[in-house]
Amino acid sequence: MVIMEQQTIIKVQNLHKQYKQMIRHEGKWGGLQDLVNRKHKLMTAVDNVSFEVESGEAVAFIGPNGAGKSTVIKMLVGVLAPTSGLVEVEGRIPHGNRLENAKRIGVVFGQRTQLFWDIPLSESLHLARHMYKIPQQQFKENMLKYSEVLGLHEYMNVAVRQLSLGQRMRAELCAALLHNPRIVFLDEPTIGLDVVVKEKFRSLIRDINEKYHTTILLTTHDMVDIEQLCSRVIVIDHGNILFDGKLDQLKRDFGSEEKMTLEMDSKLDDFREIYELGVKSVEQEDRTLQIVYDNRRVSSSAIISNILSSYTVKDLIVQQIEIEEIIKNLYKNRLT
């Protein structure tokens, strides 16, 4: 199948996933009660989700822990079967055509390893060559390129179980990309990584998205991941899609709040002037000043210049809103 640009590559319609969860009895005799009288609760992990992704897009799934992001990803890669609804990846149903689907996608689960635990990294990557039937030439080129960018040479001969998290995650990304997948699924790939490794990850992912138009689907809690990689954001919570659109729009509509923290030389006597600018709240503790404001109503520079006109500022930080805050705002917005 030839994939042309701007073609729908992922199609999800009215997707549901439910599973049974055992409820344990509490207390001393709880274990015995569980034996005789077992209670189950039907959990809904994904509740009527629909979306489409075009080939070459980079989409971020965001939402709090347990929102259903990973479950959606696991259904897209063919690990889990949907309870009802449709999932199609390149026109195939992943769960029914697991092997065919797996050949054409790359997956990184941030908290698991797909490398072989007891053998050196180089051999583990070599297995990937046979697993995905990668042509020798392509394997060589990709190995050279990715091990260079990700800095894998130093520990190619070390058993995977002896690698540090950062080293292993870099290797995981390499393993997921060697076969030039059409779609790359990244489930919290940057979790627990330091800034340098995160940067390497992002630049490589951006690179394959821009150069090869590889479709990217990413779940993350890191706002920087999204800003640097994805133009489109799908917000999911309690198995529902709350928002699906451009990142700019999401931030404009629900994430325009910013927090400014200032280290002052002296205490402020009154905040009247600052409030007149239209900020939401001002708090002062000792010589630290915290101002929360909506950047659509007042710019950070207006606030700073106002303060600087009468006081000396030692240090200043402007923080953007956290994902969790955006989701809270989305909820408030839905309820009103």
Instruction: Kindly state the smallest distance separating residue 161's Cβ from other proteins, in Å.
Output: 10
Instruction: Kindly state the smallest distance separating residue 85's Cβ from other proteins, in Å.
Output: 14
**Helix, strand, coil % in the chain, rounded to nearest 5:** 40, 30, 30
Number of residues counted as binding other proteins (CB under 8 A):
33
Q: Which of 56, 63, 78, 239 binds other proteins (CB under 8 A)?
A: 78
Place of tokens 């490398």: 115
Q: Which of 4, 36, 42, 99 binds other proteins (CB under 8 A)?
A: 99
Of the listed pieces 50-58, 111-119, 134-142, 203-211, which binds other proteins according to CB under 8 A?
111-119
Q: Is-contact 235 243, C-beta < 8 A?
A: yes
Task: Report the alpha-carbon distance of residue 326 to residue 228 in Å, rounded.
Answer: 18
Residues pairing with 318 in the sheet: 260
Of the listed pieces 123-131, 239-247, 293-301, 325-333, which binds other proteins according to CB under 8 A?
123-131
Per CB under 8 A, 203 contacts other proteins: no
Beta carbon nearer to other proteins, 76 or 279:
76
Task: Report the alpha-carbon distance of residue 10 to residue 28 in Å, rounded.
Answer: 49
Per CB under 8 A, 79 contacts other proteins: yes
Q: H or E element: which one contains 63?
A: none
Q: H or E element: which one contains 299?
A: none
- Site map (CB under 8 A) of other proteins, residues 1-40, x = contact: ------------------x---------------------
Q: Is-contact 287 265, C-beta < 8 A?
A: yes
3-class DSSP assignment, residue 59: strand
Per CB under 8 A, 68 contacts other proteins: no
Q: What is the dihedral of CA 108, 109, 110, 114, to 10 degrees?
A: -80
Q: Which of 74, 182, 198, 200 binds other proteins (CB under 8 A)?
A: 74
Per CB under 8 A, 42 contacts other proteins: no
Per CB under 8 A, 182 contacts other proteins: no
Instruction: Kindly state the smallest distance separating residue 153's Cβ from other proteins, in Å.
Output: 22
Of the listed pieces 76-84, 195-203, 246-254, 326-334, which binds other proteins according to CB under 8 A?
76-84
| Subset of residues 142 to 161 that bind other proteins, contact rule: CB under 8 A | 159
Of the listed pieces 69-77, 197-205, 224-232, 313-321, which binds other proteins according to CB under 8 A?
69-77
Beta strands in the chain (DSSP E): 8-23, 39-54, 58-62, 84-89, 105-109, 183-187, 215-219, 232-237, 240-246, 257-264, 281-285, 288-294, 313-320
Instruction: Kindly state the smallest distance separating residue 159's Cβ from other proteins, in Å.
Output: 8
Of the listed pieces 32-40, 49-57, 79-87, 229-237, which binds other proteins according to CB under 8 A?
79-87
Per CB under 8 A, 112 contacts other proteins: yes
Q: What secondary structure does DSSP assign to 169-232, as a single string?
A: HHHHHHHHHTT--SEEEEESTTTT--HHHHHHHHHHHHHHHHHH--EEEEE-S-HHHHHHH-SE
Using CA of residue 326, residue 332, residue 335, residue 336, what is the dihedral sign? negative
Which residues of this chain interact with other proteins, rule CB under 8 A?
19, 66, 70, 74, 77-81, 95, 98-100, 102-103, 105, 107, 109, 111-114, 116-119, 123, 126-127, 130-132, 159
